[in-house]
Amino acid sequence: MRVTVHRKAHFNAAHRLYRKDWSFEKNDEIFGKCNNPNYHGHNYELTVSVTGEIDKDTGYVIDIKVLKDIIKTEIEDAFDHKNLNVEVPEFKDLNPTVENIVVVIYNKIKPKLNKDFDLEITLYETPRNFVTYSGL
């Protein structure tokens, strides 16, 4: 029997959406106020969903404390109160759109899990704007 376990977390981070190879005018046309050279911030809400078989001995799919620690180490410690463009190596040459952020989060968490688990990441940039990624 496969069950999905969800863990919520959050982090606050600043970013600027732009391409270095475009003019300021083109960046402004495409990214609008998100192209602010002084950056802007979001209160990101994260849901990490792990699907797997229930362990017969523990009754768990995954120990929530283990999942909580992975999220803290891999995501919260790495992203919280950071400028994604400047302080997070994964975004040195990658535009930190919410779409790219969710893929980076997935790629940081997936290797820490049992290979038999399915993983889905849901990331809210605002209460109305969110993305999901499951590695497909």
Is 34 among the catalytic positions?
yes
Predicted confidence at residue 134, as pLDDT, reads 98
One digit per residue, the tens of pLDDT, for the chain of length 136 reads 899 999 999 999 999 999 999 999 999 999 999 999 999 999 999 999 999 999 999 999 999 999 999 999 999 999 999 999 999 999 999 999 999 999 999 999 999 999 999 999 999 999 999 999 999 8
Catalytic residue (choose from 15, 42, 120, 125)? 125
The Cα–Cα gap between 12 and 83 comes to: 9
29 belongs to the catalytic site:
no
Our answer to whether residue 74 is catalytic in this structure is no
CA distance 112 to 127: 28
Query: What pLDDT is attached to residue 29?
Result: 97
Task: Pick the catalytic residue from 34, 76, 87, 90.
Answer: 34
Catalytic residue among 6, 10, 40, 81: 81
**What does DSSP assign to residue 61?**
S
CA neighbor of 42 nearest in space, from 24, 16, 70: 16
| pTM of the predicted model as reported, rounded to 2 decimal places | 0.96
> How deeply is 68 buried, as exposed, middle or buried, from its count of CB atoms within 10 A (0-12, 13-18, 19+)?
middle
